[in-house]
Structure 1
Amino acid sequence: MLSLLVSFGIVTLVSAQGAIPCGTPSVQPITTRIVGGVESAPNSWPYVVLVVDDLGYIAGSATIMNEHVLVTSAQHFEGPGYSIFDVDITHWRVYAGEHNIRIKDPNEHYYHISRVILHPAYNYTSLENDIALIITKETMELNDHVRFVCLPDSSHQYTVGQTCYLPGWGSTVASGNEEVLNQVDLPILSDDICQRHWPDFLPATEVCAGYENGTKDFCADDIGSPLLCKDQNGQWYIQGIASSGGNCKLHDEPGVFEDVSQYSDWVKKTMKDANYPYHP
């Protein structure tokens, strides 16, 4: 697990740019076919934030829904032996505009967590409904380096074979620079492939993506990272949230992602109830 060099000083920012369309980066991501992961182009995934726990260690990633709300994996905050009631979230931080964790990036700002809302049916044993919303204390500034992603609804589906991308700060298993935001291209797989590997795979609420041939995978510090898929309109949607998978050192099994399209109604209602409604 990597630690983060922390920059001190609270920054409260208000966006002065007005409405920014969801899922539209100012820097185009690298989308050429690659072997293993590759360092992402800075600012090409402006929706992805680094989640750091109260000890300064990387917990994983989250994705920006609006100036106060992020979506991520519920297992960051509740699992075997720990509960959301035991986690002191006031000392956790989320870093937006981040790229290299070892330096203070020019567009980087951190924000404190005000509260975390777990899906009411989340089961940490089976990882069913492994989704949560983070509410930030300060307002995140939206700009060329920090933007919100598009939220798919239940009719917004992707086809088997389509290539999507997972950006994250997780381990590269000595195959690259772990101090920067890396990305990996992952094809959507048929449900039966994940069911062969994972008997507890839930096709109604989970997405199967990745490889079986030992080429690419995500690691533990990538939990909560988004599976981002580009729509025909050119906008990027968060189709999945990294939840579970195999041994990333072997990377011979596909990954399991929460299917965000099946949770869009819950996300929208929860954001509205928190007084931070989603506006695409």
Structure 2
Amino acid sequence: MLAPKGSFPWQVLLNVDGGRAGGMVIDHKWILTAASNLMRGDNQILKSQVKVFVGDNNVRNLTQSTPLEVASLHIHPGYNNPNYLSYDNDIALIKLQKSLQFSSNIMRVCLPVKGAEYTIGRVGWVSGFGIRDDDIISKDLRFVRVPLVSQLTCRRSIDEERANRVIAPDLTDNMFCAGLPEGGKDACHGDGGSPYVLKYGEFTGLQGSTAGV
């Protein structure tokens, strides 16, 4: 669904070496994304190859603005995925040169407390600027509501895919699953590193980021 203007103010559009990816604002100088966005095989890309855009839900408006200057890239030391089959520890930070000025259109997402757990079946939101369901890359921010799924259910689904000779990455204890049994609602190419958020009380907070999409 099309995200209303001003919604998901933590959403980040990344242009990484000419390709599209996602991220989220977690503090005045810090963007959280997927490590897989910033790696090419065994090699980390250069910070000059990363363009960061925030503050609007329209891609044209974002990319016509001046990208935020990147100070440094920080890949999780445990991430090792040269063949794009193991997304364990698929997390990275982008540090900005200058602090963001928070407003109604730019805001950090609330991070979960250490050890936070959520009820299976609870519905959250995935947002991103990736490919739409008609295989056209989106001009605007879109979102979809999907529920949390148990690790057991998710692993069974992966096993079924592998039984059909589909190559599927491993599910580890560092990951969680969200989706529908019938499929059809998910993150898409270009959404990798974007947030999956849940509402907790009066606040909307990060549960995790989409990876490997």
Q: Does 1:120 align with 2:77?
A: yes
Q: Which residue of 2 aligns with 1:6?
A: none
User: Aligned residue for 2:108?
Assistant: 148
Q: In structure 2, which of residues 52, 63, 66 is the aligned counterpart of residue 94 of structure 1?
A: 52
How far off is 1:109 after superposition? 5.7
2:24 is matched with 63
Change (3 A) 1:104 1:69: closer
Q: 3-state SS of the aligned residue for 2:78?
A: coil
Amino acid at match of 1:211: L
| Letter of the 1:243 counterpart | A
> Which AA in structure 2 matches 1:237?
G
Q: CA deviation at 1:244?
A: 3.3
Letter matched to residue 220 of structure 1 = H
- Is residue 2:15 matched to residue 1:52? yes
Task: Confirm or deny: 8 A CA contact 1:90 1:114 kept in the other structure.
Answer: no
1:40 aligned residue: 3
2:197 to 204, 228, 231: 228
1:185 is displaced (CA, Å) by 0.4
User: What is the CA RMSD across the aligned residues, in angstroms?
Assistant: 2.1
**Conservation of the 8 A alpha-carbon contact between 1:96 and 1:109:** no
Equivalent of 2:174 in 190, 205, 208 = 205
Look up the match of 1:187: 147
Residue 188 of structure 2: which of 215, 219, 233 is its match? 219
The CA deviation at 1:176 is 7.8
The amino acid across from 1:98 in the alignment is D
Number of equivalences:
200
Q: Residue 238 of structure 1 aligns with which residue?
A: 206
For residues 141 and 113 of structure 1, what CA distance do their matches in structure 2 show? Answer: 16
* Alpha-carbon shift at residue 177 of structure 1 (Å): 7.5
When normalised by structure 2's length, the TM-score is 0.86
Residue 76 of structure 1 deviates from its aligned partner by: 0.7
TM-score scaled to structure 1, two decimals? 0.66
Q: Which has the higher strand share?
A: 2
Q: In the alignment, is the contact (CA less than 8 A) between 2:127 and 2:143 conserved in 1?
A: yes
Letter in 2 for 1:123: N
Is 1:168–1:183's contact at 8 Å kept on the other side of the alignment? yes
- Are the equivalent residues in 1 in contact too, given 2:16–2:37 (CA < 8 A)? no
Alpha-carbon separation, structure 1, partners of 2:156 and 2:126: 23
Contact 2:28 2:101 in 1 (8 A): yes
| Paired AA for residue 87 in structure 2 | L
Structure 2: 5+ residue runs without aligned partners?
160-169
Question: Which of 154, 157, 170 is equivalent to 2:130?
Answer: 170
Structure 1 pair 175/75, CA: closer, same or farther in 2 (3 Å)? closer
- Identify the match of residue 61 of structure 2 among 103, 117, 131: 103
Distance 1:157 1:49 in 2: 25
C-alpha separation between the residues in 1 aligned to 2:77 and 2:7? Answer: 33
> 1:83: which partner in 2?
43
- Post-superposition Cα deviations, 1:22-72, rounded to whole Å, max 9, x if no partner, equal xxxxxxxxxxxxxxxx001111100111011243x31x1111111110111
Q: Distance in 2 between matches of 1:164 and 1:174?
A: 23
